[in-house]
Amino acid sequence: MVQKAIEILKKSSSLLVITGAGISAESGIPTFRGKDGLWQNYRAEDLATPWAFQRDPETVWKWYDWRRGIISKAKPNKGHIAIKELEDLYERFFLITQNVDGLHGRTGIKNMIEIHGNLWRVRCTKEGRTFLLLDTPLKEIPPRCTCGAILRPDVVWFGESIPQDLMDKAYTLLNTYETLIVAGTSGVVYPVASFPTILKANGGKIVEINIEKTPISDLADISIIGKTGEILPEIVEGLKKII
């Protein structure tokens, strides 16, 4: 399977990668859907919404504070590093990550969209301005802007729209790139879950890497069952020998 993926990638002059929470699992960051994805008695999907924040910003911020604490101790793993190496191998390369942990950025990758935002960035609920808030743990919960309004994490919650400029960029990539690697995503969170179908409709090829089958598996040209931290470095090593 890995060899077949390398064959596809070798023939391609452009590479798009989409990642989800699974790529950061080997850095010790819990995914949303999985046995380690639980937090107290809440479901992530019930906390990551504008309604939950409106109702109870303190609980939502406690959850983000807990996640930020875990992420602050985490490091990019072999999967993140392999993706940075793929960027170095291709003239046309882009990464769309659904992750908000910032770990891809810490590998030095340049061509990337964090399509669901970044949880180290906050947004003033009154003024709309965004800035980094790196305190972990937070000094006050919920944290407040200098204007006095509550700050929120600058992430896209369930029920919210992805900023239009990022969607436009994603569609341009999906319409013009030849090959897509989809790594560590359950393929159920829209609109990103529909991205592979768009690329495929344009004649593109898809390689999926996940520890289990997903709704994307049947669409993929190659579906590799395995950990991103193991499979991606194998792919990079194989490609380096021939590119």
Which residues in this chain contact ligand NAD in the complex, by CB under 6 A?
A: 20-22, 24-26, 29, 31-34, 98-101, 116, 184-186, 189, 209-212, 214, 227-229
Q: How far is the CB of 24 from ligand NAD (least distance, A)?
A: 4
CA 175 centroid distance within chain:
20
CA 193 centroid distance within chain:
12
Task: Give whole-number Cα distances, 133 to 62, 96, 139, 235, in Å.
Answer: 15, 23, 11, 36
Helix (H) or strand (E) holding 67: helix 57-73
Q: Which is nearer to ligand NAD, 179 or 185 (CB)?
A: 185
206 contacts: CB under 8 Å, gap ≥ 6: 179, 180, 181, 182, 196, 199, 200, 216, 219, 220, 221, 222
Q: Which is nearer to ligand NAD, 38 or 243 (CB)?
A: 38
For helices 2-11 and 228-242, the axis angle rounded to 10 degrees is 50
Q: How far is the CB of 91 from ligand NAD (least distance, A)?
A: 27
Q: How far is the CB of 147 from ligand NAD (least distance, A)?
A: 28
Q: 179: burial class by Cβ within 10 Å (0-12, 13-18, 19+)?
A: buried
CA dist 82 and 234 (Å) reads 9
**At residue 200, what is the residue type?**
K
The question of whether 116 is a catalytic residue gets the answer yes
Determine which one of 116, 123, 205, 227 is catalytic. 116
Using left for φ > 0, alpha for ψ between -120 and 50, and beta otherwise, residue 91 falls in: alpha
Q: Which is nearer to ligand NAD, 44 or 151 (CB)?
A: 44
Q: Which residue is nearest to ligand NAD (CB)?
A: 22
Q: How far is the CB of 19 from ligand NAD (least distance, A)?
A: 7
Q: Which is nearer to ligand NAD, 158 or 238 (CB)?
A: 158
Backbone angles phi, psi at 136, to 5 degrees: -150, 115
Q: How far is the CB of 148 from ligand NAD (least distance, A)?
A: 29
Which residue intervals of 74-202 are DSSP H helices?
78-89, 164-176, 195-201
Q: Which is nearer to ligand NAD, 31 or 223 (CB)?
A: 31
Active site positions, annotated? 116
